[in-house]
Chains A and B, each alone.
Chain A
Amino acid sequence: MDPTRFRSQPDQPPDVGGRAIDNLRFIRETMEKAIAFTAVPGWGGVGMGVTAVAAALLSTLARTPEEWLGVWLVEAFVAFSIGAWAMARKARRAGATLFSGPARRFLLMLSPPLFAGAVVTLALARAGQTALLPGMWLLLYGTAVATGGAFAVRIVPAMGIVFMLLGCLTLVCPPSWGTAFLACGFGGLQIGVGVVIARRHGG
């Protein structure tokens, strides 16, 4: 918009009210963009990473693929809860809610790949192909973060792409490395990026 918009025109009465409304709209859009830009919670990511490392250690004790899967399904629920709580907290601090504006948009963009991941998990588990799960999880979580974080600070979509690469690598490496890759991605990568976001982008 033209910054001289409030300057009066010689032949026409100025539409001051309309211009003020335009400015209010501009302010709202800028504030929404700023919130979306830093909506991803850094400390929440750290928390999710810590529980992922714990899950990776615990899952090495599993005696059957079903037990291993059970550990990771519980971890998925715990991590999702931590992420949602941390995002709601950060949105609240910015004067928004989880289900309004930028945070809602982020969740909507994040959801389809996560839903696809849940469906494929069910299908592969029923087919007894649990060895493929770590690579698929990393790949689809990376897709979710890359798309959901498209309008966020650059480190967020970059993290999504690294997750995707890690997923591809996991799928071509020996299945026994799967848990280690999960620990690296959901644990190490998420903790590292979470600390950077928390320190640079307001928690």
Chain B
Amino acid sequence: MARARSSSSSPAAPAGRAPRRASPARGAVPDLDRVIHERTRLAIVAALAAQSPLSFRDLKTLLGATDGNLSVHARRLEEAGYVAAAKSFEGRIPRTQYRLTADGRRAFERYLDHLEALVKHARG
């Protein structure tokens, strides 16, 4: 259990820090990707994995997030290279469309594998 605890001690890395990747060498249950592990970012990535692209407004409605909260977490995912944002204008209204990058999809799949590994590990 100590290994599992160490793999999940902090839900999110501070903004600007490079994403912490898995280190399978440490044991059977690797570290979770801290960038994705934070709840709002996990929801953004999961939504974009199912349906890409989604606009800022769609994501806000879908996740029930505030503008500020969604902006901060989307930017964090952009910095990690997991999400790409395309900005445009509709008339005078700015519009941002998000999509999951290939890196983001791989990271999400890795994260799912890690969760499954945690479940298997806990079940013995």
Residues of A within 8 A of B (CB): 1-8, 13-21, 23-24, 26-27, 30-35, 37-38, 94-95, 153-154, 200-202
Contact = CB atoms under 8 A, between A and B. Distances in A.
5 contacts: A6-B11, A6-B37, A7-B10, A23-B42, A30-B46
Q: Which range contains the number of B residues in contact with the other chain? A: 35 or more
B58 A201 contact: yes
B62 interface: yes
B5 A14 contact: yes
A180 to B, nearest CB: 31
Interface of B: 1, 4-5, 8-12, 32, 37-40, 42-43, 46-55, 58, 61-63, 112, 115-116, 118-119, 121-123
A3 B35 CA distance: 12
B9 A7 contact: yes
B47 A34 contact: yes
Given A3-B12, A17-B122, A37-B58, 7 more contacts: A5-B11, A16-B122, A24-B119, A26-B43, A30-B50, A38-B58, A153-B61
Contacts of B62: 30, 33-34, 37
A31 B39 contact: no
B26 to A, nearest CB: 15
A95 B5 contact: no
A31 B49 contact: yes
A201 B48 CA distance: 12
A23 B112 CA distance: 9
A1 B47 CA distance: 17
Contact of A17 (B48, B51, B53, B121): B121
B66 to A, nearest CB: 15
B5 A1 contact: no
Given A20-B115, A35-B50, A37-B58, A30 B43 contact: yes
Contact of A8 (B9, B49, B51): B9
Nearest to A102: B50
Contact of A24 (B39, B50, B112): B112
